[in-house]
Chains A and B, each alone.
Chain A
Amino acid sequence: GENVEQHPSTLSVQEGDSAVIKCTYSDSASNYFPWYKQELGKRPQLIIDIRSNVGEKKDQRIAVTLNKTAKHFSLHITETQPEDSAVYFCAARANAGKSTFGDGTTLTVKP
């Protein structure tokens, strides 16, 4: 089955700096890669996603890149703000199957 590895497990940045979280996947059939943000005590919420026919997608301060050949994808957050502090999960999925999640990255943005 699919295996998703996520790094780093914790990340601390200064407000205004950029943050990058990286994930690798194992199943070449995976073609959908969402990212979720989970604030303390809340549910995971989708923040951005990318399909395998696209190399990069951007939404305001958030961007995701995908390298299918290397089987890795990354989340980039620019101009970080304290409210970006949360746990971020990547996931990979093939077609209509199940999503496999990474172990999460705890991002702390220091004011």
Chain B
Amino acid sequence: DAGVIQSPRHEVTEMGQEVTLRCKPISGHNSLFWYRQTMMRGLELLIYFNNNVPIDDSGMPEDRFSAKMPNASFSTLKIQPSEPRDSAVYFCASRGSREKLFFGSGTQLSVL
């Protein structure tokens, strides 16, 4: 199993641009999570899906952030327009019927 796959690994963009982060969960996992990690705020849960349905998006910072999961093997996190304070590492994680949460390698986002 290739694990949770995220792309891109690094993204550098200018303020105001749209950013799309992508995630492929582990096959068979029915829960998917998007986290943001910064030095100041640690690991923050942005949103999570069960069976492709958004369950809790209370961590999404504002309307500039949106996430979709059109099918069991793909999810996107979009920021539009991006701002410098969005710079962080964004992790996708998935979980199956067992309890263990598996993280992807993350996307390092820098908004200039």
Contacts and interface: CB of A to CB of B under 8 A. Distances in A.
A45 B93 CA distance: 11
Contact of B101 (A34, A42, A102, A104): A34
Per DSSP, are chain B's interface residues mostly helix, strand or loop, or mixed? strand
A98 interface: yes
Interface residues of B, number: 18
A101 B38 CA distance: 13
B20 interface: no
A96 B100 CA distance: 11
Given A96-B31, A96-B50, A98-B33, A43 B105 contact: yes
B51 to A, nearest CB: 11
Given A43-B106, A98-B56, A34 B91 contact: no
Interface of B: 31, 33, 42-43, 45, 48, 50, 55-56, 91, 99-106
Contact of B103 (A44, A96, A98): A44
Interface of A: 32, 34, 42-46, 49, 51, 89, 93, 96, 98-104
29 contacts: A32-B99, A34-B101, A42-B105, A43-B104, A43-B105, A44-B43, A44-B91, A44-B103, A46-B100, A46-B101, A46-B102, A49-B100, A51-B99, A89-B43, A93-B99, A96-B31, A96-B50, A98-B33, A98-B48, A98-B55, A99-B33, A99-B45, A100-B45, A101-B42, A101-B43, A101-B45, A102-B42, A103-B42, A104-B42
A49 B99 contact: yes
A99 B100 CA distance: 11
B2 to A, nearest CB: 13
Given A99-B33, A103-B42, A104-B43, 14 more contacts: A32-B99, A42-B105, A43-B103, A43-B104, A45-B103, A46-B100, A46-B101, A89-B43, A96-B50, A98-B33, A98-B48, A98-B55, A100-B45, A101-B45
